[in-house]
DNA sequence: AACCAGTACTGGTTCAAGCCAGTTGATGGA
DNA sequence: TCCATCAACTGGCTTGAACCAGTACTGGTT
């Protein structure tokens, strides 16, 4: 046995069963569960006990609650898979960014927002990867928000914060313009003598902090993937670090890496 | 403003501040917070309100609760970073597995448990990646649990479930023995004519299901990384799929991938 | 038709109380 | 000395009540 026989668990278990059976989602139904007060009466339990059960389901990502409306079965969206983001061939042949291509597979269109470009001191993890001193150097900081638009809804997918050593970015569009022109970011780096040759990606997962949860409208019980990406040029020099934060309920990663002998 | 001014939020906020200030962890202290009943009295609030505040902290991964003992500040462990797991050179030169090497950096020793080797029908995602029919084929299923041992404590890190087409595993140690001999798994695949040449890794993050949470003793508010790994040989044939589930509070990934022109 | 107010729902938060269950340390007997 | 017992903690769970806050519909007024 893996769980104790408590009222809240029993109620949660029963709701899980009914959700799996499609009781709330079949035909014309909108996925709405009975109200907390009704469930409490049905199970002869206190409303707080039902709330505890629903909290367990929400934590598990099975339902969403909406104040004033009700509790709804969360419909599973197929994950977007991001990989191969830097290939020059892709960049030149298809003319569309990998982000756009992946969204297109699911009938979605991207919207990217670049709310700020600033000049700052690098955070310590970024400075370390760029081989810079944390205090004696500055970097250009470009913040990008990625959204997906489709079927009358728009939702945020990921945030990317790119740090570029100031001595590289200085004078280039990288340091001041949201629009980076044909071929986008990595074409500009190539112009500047840093063609991307390798990418290091350090991947972690964690719960979003409250600001991220709000900004990315992340439902309860959904973690984020955090990727610390370092761009490395043909000389082995790191020239750019980007910190991605991806909603794990809408996005994942897909790497195909050759294995070295 | 990002949060409402509710009693439970205020209490959580104050505890966050005191935790950050090191009030519970400095010098000889063991990181224990005041009891729920004491906090309730101090803040002139109901015990349930304090519990709600503590639940928020636990969800955020700041504290652990222990029934009968108290609430403790969670000490952050440096993440283990797994990458480059398949290199033949590493395998032959160092003689130690990458898993062992990464743990050694932090003064930990691995323990690996192989509780079961069975013959089953492949799950659909696995069958798809191996190019098999879900119903007309069988695979060897090897389940491995990875633990870290150090300083009088042992904790689980990840689970790996490896699926191998039966026609490949049949007759080999892969199909029946926990001990795979010198060079381990990928050396055996090489013996069988499938030297690993590339690895595809599909990465997602999610909350653990209740069984995983128990089996991996995952604290509240900690997600897992799920990696669906496909081993590909020098002919481009997939010969093995492993599903890893990693506790995100102890482990992450580290890929360095060349960028194709 | 357009608007607004009222009302009856929904979940969100807090309260005070009680009992259950795991942990710890003191007490006292063998 | 050793060990069982007990008391006094700790958090875990449930109850039932009250009130707040967001939503949607209804009916009346304009």
Domain range list for chain A? 7-73, 80-253
Which stretches of A140-253 are DSSP H helices? Answer: 166-169, 184-191, 210-215
Choose the CATH number for A7-73 among 3.20.20.140, 2.60.40.10, 1.10.10.10, 3.30.530.50. 1.10.10.10
Tokens of A99: 């982000």
Does residue A202 contact residue B253 with C-beta atoms inside 8 Å? yes
- Residue B109: its pLDDT value, please? 86
Chain A contact present for B42, CB below 8 A:
no
Which bases along strand D come within 7 Å of a protein CB atom? 9-18, 21-24
- Return the residue of A nearest to B60 by Cα: A207
Q: Judge whether residue A46 contacts strand D, using its CB and a 7 Å cut-off.
A: yes
Residues of chain A with pLDDT under 50: 1
CB contact under 8 A, B87 and A61: no
Contact B23, B30 (CB under 8 A): no
Distance CA(A64)–CA(B81), nearest Å, equals: 33
| Helix ranges (DSSP H) in A192-241 | 210-215
pLDDT at res. A106: 78
CA–CA separation, B224 and B151 (whole Å): 24
State both tokens at A91. Answer: 């960049």
Chain segment B159-185, per-residue pLDDT in tens: 999 999 999 988 888 888 777 766 678
Find chain A residues with C-beta within 8 A of B206's C-beta. 61, 222-223, 248-249
Cβ A259–B89 below 8 Å, yes or no? Answer: no
H/E element, B146: strand B139-150
Q: Are B24 and B31 in contact (CB under 8 A)?
A: yes
Give the pLDDT of residue B108: 84
Which residue numbers in chain B have pLDDT < 70? Answer: 1-3, 84-97, 151-152, 181-183, 261
Point out the residue among B200, B225, B260 whose CB comes nearest to the CB of A89: B260
Tell me which chain A residues have a C-beta less than 8 angstroms from the C-beta of B86. 259
Query: What was the pLDDT predicted at A87?
Result: 64
pLDDT for position B93: 59
Alpha carbons within 13 angstroms on the beta-carbon side of residue A152 total 0
Nearest CA in chain B to A92: B261
Find, in chain B, the residue whose alpha carbon is nearest to that of A196: B259
Q: Which of B:63-92 have CB within 8 Å of A?
A: 79, 81, 84, 86-89
What CATH code is assigned to A80-253? 3.40.1410.10
CA A218 centroid distance within chain = 9
- The token pair that represents A178 in the structure block: 């949201």
């Amino acid at each position: 046995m893996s769980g104790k026989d408590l009222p809240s668990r029993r109620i949660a278990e029963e709701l899980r069963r009914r959700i799996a059976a499609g009781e709330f989602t079949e035909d014309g139904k909108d996925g709405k569960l009975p109200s907390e007060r009704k469930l409490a009466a049905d199970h002869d339990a206190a409303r707080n006990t039902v709330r505890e059960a629903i909290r367990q389901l929400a934590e598990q990502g099975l339902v969403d609650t909406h104040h004033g409306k009700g509790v709804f079965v969360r419909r599973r969206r197929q994950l977007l898979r991001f990989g191969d983001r830097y290939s020059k061939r892709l960049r030149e042949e298809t003319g569309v960014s990998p982000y756009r291509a992946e969204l297109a597979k699911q009938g979605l269109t991207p919207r990217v927002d670049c709310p700020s470009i600033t000049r700052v001191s690098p955070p310590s993890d970024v400075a370390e990867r760029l081989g810079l001193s944390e205090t004696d150097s500055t970097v250009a900081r470009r913040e990008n928000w990625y959204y997906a638009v489709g079927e009358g809804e728009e939702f945020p997918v990921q945030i990317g914060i790119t740090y570029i050593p100031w001595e590289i970015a200085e004078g280039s569009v990288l340091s001041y313009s949201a629009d980076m022109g044909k071929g986008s970011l990595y074409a500009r780096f190539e112009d500047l003598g840093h063609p991307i040759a390798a990418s290091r990606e350090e991947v972690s997962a964690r719960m979003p902090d409250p600001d991220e949860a709000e900004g990315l409208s992340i439902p309860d019980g959904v973690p984020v993937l955090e990727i610390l990406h370092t761009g490395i040029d043909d000389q082995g020099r790191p020239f750019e670090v980007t910190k991605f934060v991806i909603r794990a309920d809408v996005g994942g990663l897909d790497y195909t890496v050759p294995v070295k002998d």
